[in-house]
Amino acid sequence: MAVVAVLGAGSWGTTFAKVLSDAGSEVTLWARRPEVAHAVRSTGRNPEYLPDVQLPAGLRATSDHREALDGADTVVLAVPSQSLRSNLAGWVADLPPGATLLSLAKGVELRTLERMSEVVREVAGVPADQVAVLSGPNLAREIAVGQPTATVIACTDHDRAVALQQACTTGYFRPYTNTDVVGCELGGAGKNVIALACGMAVGMGLGGNTTATIITRGLAEVARLGVALGARQETFAGLAGLGDLVATCSSPLSRNRTFGELLGRGSTLAQAQEAAHGQVAEGVKTCTALRELAARHRVEVPITDGVHRVCHEGAPVSAMARELLGRSTKPE
């Protein structure tokens, strides 16, 4: 049986802790705020993120990261991308030696332009084969109520990926393994940016043809950048690429799509941020990191560029649409 510490009790950390527990793993969930850990312990619910979901009786919760990490063979990192480095730096002295470090975050770090597995390797000082990532069409709320989905666990060490797969397979959650860590991470980070663009289109009142175009051309640009960074093209046709892109761009549950929709209806960035109630829309920062990464590798990412300009340069959404449609025509 896997002994797992899940560090981060937001929507996804709490839901994934439930999945692991339902799969028979021994799980301790760490929450930053003591009152959240206390509520999970005393009521079996996370009032902040999933108030109506009953968590498994065996799931433990604490606000002391040492208690969560004690004896763990697997450490799940479930905090937002831009805070992963600082959070992990606070935990690193207490990480059990040899434990697999699994990142759930979907983003690229600003300034360093590092993927999450790179941040984890650097901060924890562990080899690449000790670090895994999980990415796929995984809207937390649907999984929390037991709706079926699949995902990808990517690790350069296939045996570690298989151990993780066994630790979280349930009747409603089906993980596949993959060794293409770069592709899975780029798929997860990139789809949040494309979901912002889809949301903007929906907010402007545009229909299915437009969103299908954004999804398809969005996939093309994310895959183009991923391949330039060493990813395999096929990964982008899988769950961590197309799968997650379709789920996120189509679902009103997506925070990124919802954020984009507010911008498309004319809200300012600050208004959209306020409406998100502190929940993270990763694409807002990742668009800038991906755009810089693309420039460094001389890869064209026009949708990502447009999202960055709307979010951070004050460009109106209508100007972004005009610019994308005004680009020179070309073969597909």
Ligand X SMILES: O=C(CO)COP(=O)(O)O
Catalytic residue ranges: 191
How many beta carbons lie within 10 A of that of residue 292, not counting itself?
Answer: 15
User: How far apart are CB 15 and ligand X at their closest, in Å?
Assistant: 10
195 binds, among ligand X, ligand NAI, none (CB under 5 to 8 A by kind): ligand X
Q: Is there a binding annotation on residue 33?
A: yes
CA distance 11 to 21: 16
Q: Which is nearer to ligand X, 65 or 257 (CB)?
A: 257
Site string for ligand X, 201-240 (x = CB under 6 A): ----------------------------------------
The SS3 assignment for 192 reads helix
Assess 152 for contact with ligand X (CB under 6 A).
no
Assess 139 for contact with ligand X (CB under 6 A).
yes
Assess 108 for contact with ligand X (CB under 6 A).
no
Tokens 């991308």 -> residue: 81
What single-letter amino acid sits at 137?
P
247 binds, among ligand NAI, ligand X, none (CB under 5 to 8 A by kind): ligand X
User: How far apart are CB 87 and ligand X at their closest, in Å?
Assistant: 18
> Which parts of this chain interact with ligand NAI (CB under 6 A)?
8-13, 32, 49, 78-81, 83, 87, 104-107, 138-140, 279-280, 282
Q: Which is nearer to ligand NAI, 112 or 318 (CB)?
A: 112
Assess 198 for contact with ligand X (CB under 6 A).
no
Q: Which is nearer to ligand NAI, 114 or 204 (CB)?
A: 114
Q: Which is nearer to ligand X, 65 or 115 (CB)?
A: 115
Assess 160 for contact with ligand X (CB under 6 A).
no
CB-based contact 310:316 (threshold 8 Å): yes
Q: Is there a binding annotation on residue 3?
A: no
Q: Which of residues 119-138 bind ligand X (CB under 6 A)?
A: 137-138
Beta-strand pair 74-77/100-103: parallel
Tokens 């009521």 -> residue: 43
Among candidate residues 102, 175, 163, the one with its CA nearest the CA of residue 132? 102
CB-based contact 79:105 (threshold 8 Å): yes
What is the residue-wise DSSP string for 110-177? TTT--BHHHHHHHHHT--GGGEEEEESS--HHHHHTT--EEEEEEESSHHHHHHHHHHH--SSEEEEE
Exposure string for 138-167, b = 16+ CB within 10 A, e = fewer: bbbbbbbeeeebebbbbbbbeebbebbbeb
Q: Which is nearer to ligand X, 260 or 306 (CB)?
A: 260
Assess 250 for contact with ligand X (CB under 6 A).
no
Cross-strand bridge partners of residue 102: 76, 132
Which residues contact ligand X (rule: CB under 6 A)?
A: 106, 137-139, 192, 195, 244, 247-248, 254-256, 282
Give the residue ranges of the annotated binding site for sn-glycerol 3-phosphate: 106, 136, 191, 244, 254-256
